[in-house]
Amino acid sequence: MKQLNRQQIISIVSQLDLISPIENGFIQYSRGQVVIPPVGELLLDKGEVHIKYGYVKADDYYVIKIASGFYKNPEIGLSSSNGLMLLFNQQTGELVCNLMDEGYLTDIRTAIAGAICAKYLAPKKITAIGIIGTGIQARLQAIYLKTVTRCRHIVVWGRNKVKLDEYQCYMQEQGFSVMISNSIEELAQHANLIISTTPATSPILKAEYLKPGTHITAVGSDTAEKQELAVDILAMADLVVADSFHQCQQRGEIFHALTNNKISKGDITELGNIIAKGQGRMDDNQVTIADLTGLAIQDIKIAEAVYFSSNEKDE
């Protein structure tokens, strides 16, 4: 059994193309080649734990991910996110690799999914990347967009002035120019690729803010309670993409738009099908939406990719 700690995993990930394996995972998912049981959930006084697991039938492994969020941890100097991924042999059940990533790979695979959405759905010419929020996904989403766009201009909006300044400083070090906007409306006037990364529980991005040709990737909402986009945005969109048709009927932005009869199930396209076709956006005036709720297939693919790469290093 191999064991990789967070530092080793960070080092491996920095040298890895993760877009290809995760794209492949989304395709396999949409083709029904993946087994993913319902997510396990454990609720505690100070946090919550999710267990996501499954396997690609044609692969050699199954993966069980344990990811936790303990929201008071930062008060005592700990990260709120934690967890690990376990890779087992599909033929024997033997534990092959313990990836003690402490939540790192979940952050990365989420950012990779955002980059994949932008690859197929963002307009050809990106005027600015609009980032709503200042947390870890606000950073990683922009950093991984580097692999799919040359645009290095960010317009950011957040509620907290100190965090905005920190964000600006950090992202400038990453090679971006960063403009802090006074409102989400202003952000949407500058940016035609918008990534929303907040845990908002009522819509903060309105339909009337948007310019034609904008693509929005909604990353923040992964439960039935959370919502960042006004349902009118999904109603007006030319293309509404779900990471999982099944999961997006139960949580996230699409769930709200369906519940409010703003869109119908027939309006939804699954990300894996967009990737398989190699084309999402049809012209520069379309408004497109991608709703990412987070799938175990992303965990499976990133765990396998890191494990394979660690073996190559050993050789």
With CB under 8 A, what is the number of residues at the site for a copy of itself? 39
- Residue 74 beta carbon to a copy of itself: minimum distance, rounded to whole angstroms: 11
- Is 173 a binding residue for a copy of itself by CB under 8 A? The answer is no
Q: What is the DSSP letter of 76?
A: G
Q: Which two tokens stand for residue 73?
A: 């941890």
Segment 54 to 113, residues that bind a copy of itself, using CB under 8 A: 54-55, 62, 64, 66, 68-70, 73, 76, 78, 82-84, 86, 88, 90-95, 98, 100
Measured from the CB atom, the residue of 100 and 236 that comes closer to a copy of itself is: 100
- Residue 34 beta carbon to a copy of itself: minimum distance, rounded to whole angstroms: 12
Distance (Å, whole) CA 267 – CA 240: 7
Q: 163 with 169: CB under 8 angstroms? A: no
Using the rule CB under 8 A, which residue among 41, 312, 314, 315 binds a copy of itself? 41
Region of 23-31, 45-53, 184-192, 300-308 interacting with a copy of itself (CB under 8 A): 45-53
Q: Which residues pair with 56 in a beta bridge?
A: 34
- Single-letter residue type at 223: T
Measured from the CB atom, the residue of 101 and 291 that comes closer to a copy of itself is: 101
- Residue 167 beta carbon to a copy of itself: minimum distance, rounded to whole angstroms: 25
**Alpha helices, DSSP H only, in the chain?**
6-13, 19-30, 104-121, 136-145, 161-173, 184-190, 231-236, 245-248, 252-259, 271-277, 296-314
Nearest to 188 by CA among 165, 212, 168: 212
- Residue 140 beta carbon to a copy of itself: minimum distance, rounded to whole angstroms: 20
Q: 134: burial class by Cβ within 10 Å (0-12, 13-18, 19+)?
A: buried
The 3-class secondary structure across 95-117, one letter per residue, is EEEEEECCCHHHHHHHHHHHHHH
Q: Which residues contact 283 (CB under 8 A, 6 or more apart)?
A: none
- Residue 71 beta carbon to a copy of itself: minimum distance, rounded to whole angstroms: 10
Distance (Å, whole) CA 103 – CA 267: 33
Region of 24-32, 49-57, 271-279, 305-313 interacting with a copy of itself (CB under 8 A): 49-57
- Single-letter residue type at 167: Y
- Which positions lie near a copy of itself, rule CB under 8 A? 1, 35, 37-38, 40-47, 49, 51, 53-55, 62, 64, 66, 68-70, 73, 76, 78, 82-84, 86, 88, 90-95, 98, 100
